[in-house]
Structure 1
Amino acid sequence: MKRSVIFYLYLSLLMTSFIFVSLKVLASEEEMQACLIDKLNSENLDKTVRQLKQECSESLFDLINTKPNKVTDFFEQDLKTNNLAIEPYVMTPYVMTPHRMNYILPVSYSNNVNKEAYDEVENWANNLEDIEIKYQLSFRVPLLTESIFTEGDGIAFGFTLQSWWQIYAQKISRPFRETNYQPEFFYYAPLSWQPLGGNTALLLGFEHQSNGHSLSLSRSWNRLYANIVFAKKNYAISFRPWWRIPQGNKVTTPTEPGNDNPDITDYMGRFELSMVYKWQGYNLLFKGRENFKEHNGYVELGVTFPIFDRLKGYIQYTNGYGESLIDYNHSQQTIGIGFSLTDYFQD
């Protein structure tokens, strides 16, 4: 029952996002029709309809992108990126855009696959492969873009999906070993504080994360977080502390649901520090978590590099606890290679 409610919540959030985008598309069609009628009344009729549509498309695009927006103007002073986890400033009204990084790693190797978690799944534990496919898909949709408390602030919805696919495990029918779902609502605002000549922004949000499994394989938690972002020229730093919303002390058992992971903060910590640096055509990435009381941590290093045109390669290395929710209390090292579908800094 619990999983069904969460599934329908996800579906509702996705439908809400779709409705916002659809409304904007309808509004754009009306603007296009008005532009065409205006041009037909005033332009030389030697032009084709296709040419007139092209001119209207260009003028509407320029109007959207030159509309006064403190968030966008503020951002473009220093960097060009589409990743909210590091740089939260660009919020095009009603348009679905990348949120966190989007990538696919056709080869992702682990030196210590978490087989113990799957002991109760028939034939899985001994037949899991060290190599699998890992990918992440993430988008966001601004919900309110009119100023609320200060110029350029707003509210947005984001959704991130991560999957670990045992495509090379032929003996167990190549299952998805783990999938993490992460919807969130957040408030964002640029700040007037400009240390070292850079720019800053603040995000405040609610985030749910779960793996969609039931009983012994179930992992989930809810968080309230703040995110302070500093950006200057070709680098950015994000500090994101959080508070876990209590779920009670009753632990999930094989027969009865409860708190899926009561000790998750002992391993996932209470904050995340992220950094990105652009050097020529390369993006160097860092993400780290640490619980100083328990001395459990996690580090993620990455580099994107040009292949051709806008296609970029991506190498990712991780070490520690919490590479996925099922692995929140399991330490391992992984290394993967693949492609970046969206990058932190765009050329």
Structure 2
Amino acid sequence: MKKFSILLFIVFSLNAQEFDKLYKEAEKLELQGKYKEANKIYKEIIKKEKTINSIYIDEDKKSEITAMKDTIDEVDDKETNETIAQIIASKFDIYPHHENYFFPISYDTNKRSDGRDSLETKFQLSIKKPIIHDFFGFDETINFGYTQTSWWQLYKDSSPFRETNYKPEIFVTIPYGKKDKTSLKAFTFGFLHESNGQAEPKSRSWNRIYLESYFQVGNLFAVPRVWYRIPEEEKDDDNPDIEDYMGYGDFTLIYPYKKHTFKALFRNNLKFDEDNKGFVQFDWTFPFFNSKNTFGYLQLSSGYGDSLIDYDKEINRINFGISLSR
């Protein structure tokens, strides 16, 4: 499995020929299955990046950073200069986690009795921050993640935010196996909190630990996940029956094809009687005016658990808009 670290640590100030040589050497070692040796080269690239006191930034901002560095005075302390460069570049290794999207059209096909409009706006911000890599020697990465999803009654007169769900988490991802040797590619396990920040009686929250695995067959990826809800005291539990609707895990299929991605998520409480409850969601992202980092996005969903406030209500939703990550 090709190391994602090469995407994170390329720096524009490296000598192009020297970098090319290092990269090709590392790629050759990866093809031979010599991942430890390849990782040493990546670490060498990182070391060079630190030595020359530079920070990678995309092409759109590179000229701005160069101009700023030409005007800022250097100080005598090397570490202080590195901090100044980091501030100028606004580069703190924060990356997309789940999809970041904006749906100006989010339509619930079921009529509600609480006065909400069926047509609203939905958007999501999701980021992660790598904390430490290979601390335990398994090539693992410990991450902090944060996802915030909001449902906004934009088309009502006062345009209130109807609901916002907050999901901070800490998780560890461990790569597994070798390229072309096994379909199992990685494991992730973590702790996830989810709440909506509202007062009673609309308050909802729960805490979970989860285990997720990643499988690849060609360009099809399968991601099963199971979780365990951490018990709460009865007097503090806003939603004691949430597992009856959200179940104990989910299963995701992802199929990238050329510049499109197709995704399906399935969730079920596995009660094979009249108490069966489930959820299914289909996502399609597609090219958006030849943009490299913005995509058209169509999302269809049906079932229970659309949001925390509606975890026990069946909702059929059509969403359309743009995504900034996938």
Equivalent residue, structure 2, for 1:291: 269
Equivalent residue, structure 2, for 1:306: 287
Q: CA deviation at 1:228?
A: 0.9
* Two-structure CA RMSD over aligned residues (Å): 3.0
Equivalent residue, structure 2, for 1:249: 234
Say whether 1:190 aligns with 2:168.
Answer: no
Say whether 1:227 aligns with 2:212.
Answer: yes
Say whether 1:111 aligns with 2:109.
Answer: yes
Say whether 1:336 aligns with 2:316.
Answer: no
Per-residue CA deviation, residues 45-99 of structure 1 (Å, 9 max, x unaligned), is xxxxxxxxx644868987998897959x89xxxxxxxxxxxxxxxxxx9611100
Question: Aligned to 1:204, what secondary structure does the other structure show?
Answer: strand
CA 1:132–1:57 in 2, change beyond 3 Å: closer, same or farther?
A: farther
Identity of aligned residues (%): 37
Residues in 1 aligned to 2:25 and 2:202: alpha-carbon distance in whole angstroms: 49
Say whether 1:270 aligns with 2:248.
Answer: yes
Which residue type is aligned with residue 98 of structure 2?
Answer: R
Equivalent residue, structure 2, for 1:168: 155
Residues in 1 aligned to 2:194 and 2:108: alpha-carbon distance in whole angstroms: 23
Give the TM-score of the pair, scaled to structure 2: 0.70
Equivalent residue, structure 2, for 1:140: 128
CA 1:58–1:131 in 2, change beyond 3 Å: closer, same or farther?
A: farther
Which protein, 1 or 2, shows the higher relative CO under an 8 Å CA cutoff with sep ≥ 6?
1
Which residue type is aligned with residue 188 of structure 1?
Answer: T
8 A contact 1:318–1:333 mirrored in 2: yes
**1:202-241 correspondence runs (5 A):** 202-241=187-226
Structure 2: gaps of 5 or more residues: 1-8, 40-90
Q: CA deviation at 1:114?
A: 4.8
CA 1:144–1:65 in 2, change beyond 3 Å: closer, same or farther?
A: farther
Residues in 2 aligned to 1:196 and 1:295: alpha-carbon distance in whole angstroms: 39
Residues in 2 aligned to 1:222 and 1:182: alpha-carbon distance in whole angstroms: 10
CA 1:197–1:154 in 2, change beyond 3 Å: closer, same or farther?
A: closer
Q: CA deviation at 1:131?
A: 0.5
Which residue type is aligned with residue 289 of structure 2?
Answer: F
Per-residue CA deviation, residues 259-318 of structure 1 (Å, 9 max, x unaligned), is 110000000000010111012322111011100123100000011111222232110000
Question: Aligned to 1:217, what secondary structure does the other structure show?
Answer: coil
CA 1:149–1:55 in 2, change beyond 3 Å: closer, same or farther?
A: closer
Give the TM-score of the pair, scaled to structure 1: 0.66
Equivalent residue, structure 2, for 1:178: 163
Q: CA deviation at 1:215?
A: 1.0
Residues in 2 aligned to 1:131 and 1:64: alpha-carbon distance in whole angstroms: 53
Residues in 1 aligned to 2:222 and 2:214: alpha-carbon distance in whole angstroms: 6
8 A contact 1:106–1:133 mirrored in 2: yes
Question: Aligned to 1:224, what secondary structure does the other structure show?
Answer: strand
Equivalent residue, structure 1, for 2:237: 259
8 A contact 1:148–1:154 mirrored in 2: no
Residues in 1 aligned to 2:22 and 2:252: alpha-carbon distance in whole angstroms: 31
**1:115-126 correspondence runs (5 A):** 115=113, 125-126=114-115
Say whether 1:282 aligns with 2:239.
Answer: no
8 A contact 1:193–1:199 mirrored in 2: no
8 A contact 2:204–2:238 mirrored in 1: yes
Residues in 1 aligned to 2:284 and 2:121: alpha-carbon distance in whole angstroms: 18
Question: Aligned to 2:244, what secondary structure does the other structure show?
Answer: helix
